Amino acid sequence: MLHGDALPILCGRMRTNLLFVLVAVSCIGSALWHLHTASAGVVIRSVEIGATPATIFRPATRAAGPVVVIAHGFAGSQQLMQSFALTLARNGYTAVTFDFPGHGRNPAPLTGSITETSGATRTLTDELARVARYARPLGDGRLAVLGHSMASDIVVRFAEATPDVGATIAVSMFSPAVTATEPANLLVIVGDWEGMLKKEALRAESLATAPATARPGVTYGDPAKGVARRVAFSPHVEHASVLFSETSMREAVAWLDRSFGVARSGPPLVQARGPWILLLIAGVVLLARPLAATLPAVAHVPIGAGLGWPKLWMPMVVPMIVTPLLLRILPTHFLPVLVGDYLAAHFAVYGVMTALCLAWSQRHQRALARTPIASFGLFKATLAVILFGFIALVWPIDRYVTAFFPGPERVLLVLAMLVGTLAFFLGDEWLTRGAGAARGAYVASKFAFLISLAIAVALDLERLFFLIIIVPVIALFFIVYGLFSHWVYRGTRHPFVAAIANGVAFAWAIGVTFPLLAG
Determine, yes or no, domain membership for 3: no
pLDDT in tens, 225-282: 888 999 999 999 999 999 999 999 999 999 999 999 998 888 888 887 899 999 999 9
| 321 lies in the same domain as 332 | yes
Determine, yes or no, domain membership for 6: no
Domain endpoint, select from 243, 261, 294: 294
Determine, yes or no, domain membership for 9: no
Q: What is the DSSP string of 352-367?
A: HHHHHHHHT-HHHHHH
Determine, yes or no, domain membership for 384: yes
| 155 lies in the same domain as 266 | yes
| 333 lies in the same domain as 224 | no
Spatial distance between the Cα atoms of 123 and 126, rounded to a whole number of angstroms: 5
Q: Let me know: does 267 contact 254? Beta carbons within 8 Å.
A: no
Of 7-11, 40-44, 231-235, 475-479, minimum mean pLDDT range: 7-11
Nearest to 321 by CA among 449, 458, 191, 425: 449
Nearest to 170 by CA among 184, 189, 191, 192: 189
Q: What is the CATH number of the domain that holds 246?
A: 3.40.50.1820
Percentage above 90 pLDDT, the chain: 64
Nearest to 487 by CA among 121, 3, 16: 16
Note the pTM of the prediction, 2 decimals: 0.89
**Torsion sign across C-alpha atoms 225, 231, 234, 238:** positive
pLDDT in tens, 375-424: 778 889 999 999 999 999 899 999 999 999 888 888 888 999 999 999 99
What Rg do the C-alpha atoms of the chain give, in angstroms? 25
Contacts of 163 (CB under 8 A, 6+ apart): 184
What is the C-alpha end-to-end distance of the chain, expressed in Å? 65
The reply to whether omega before 223 is within 30° of 0 (cis) is no
Q: Spell out where 72-181 has E strands.
A: 94-98, 143-148, 165-171
SS3 44: strand
- The parent domain of residue 501 ranges over 298-513
pLDDT in tens, 303-343: 888 888 888 989 999 999 999 999 999 888 888 888 888 99
Q: Spell out where 353-434 has E strands.
A: none
On the CB side of 375, CA atoms within 13 Å amount to 15
Spatial distance between the Cα atoms of 449 and 443, rounded to a whole number of angstroms: 10
pLDDT, mean of residues 416-444: 93
Determine, yes or no, domain membership for 10: no
**Total number of domains in the chain:** 3
Contacts of 450 (CB under 8 A, 6+ apart): 471, 474, 475, 478
| 89 lies in the same domain as 134 | yes
| 217 lies in the same domain as 333 | no
Q: What is the DSSP string of 214-245?
A: P-TT-EES-GGGT--EEEEEETT--TTGGGG-
Determine, yes or no, domain membership for 5: no
| 265 lies in the same domain as 344 | no
How are beta strands 67-71 and 52-59 bridged, if at all?
unpaired
| 330 lies in the same domain as 416 | yes
Q: Let me know: does 456 contact 324? Beta carbons within 8 Å.
A: yes
Residue type, 298: V
| 255 lies in the same domain as 365 | no
pLDDT in tens, 93-148: 999 999 999 999 999 999 987 767 778 999 999 999 999 999 999 999 999 999 99
| 155 lies in the same domain as 202 | yes
Determine, yes or no, domain membership for 489: yes
| 365 lies in the same domain as 441 | yes
| 278 lies in the same domain as 353 | no
pLDDT, greater one: 51 or 208:
51
pLDDT attached to residue 1: 45
pLDDT, greater one: 153 or 470:
153
Of 4-8, 22-26, 88-92, 110-114, minimum mean pLDDT range: 4-8
Contacts of 188 (CB under 8 A, 6+ apart): 170, 171, 173, 201, 204, 205, 230, 231, 232
Residue 364: pLDDT band with limits 50, 70, 90 = very low
- Report how far Cα 7 is from the mean position of its chain's Cα atoms: 44
User: E strand or H helix at 116, and its extent?
Assistant: none
Residue type, 106: N
In the predicted model, what is the mean pLDDT of the chain? 89
| 348 lies in the same domain as 431 | yes
pLDDT attached to residue 299: 81
Determine, yes or no, domain membership for 330: yes
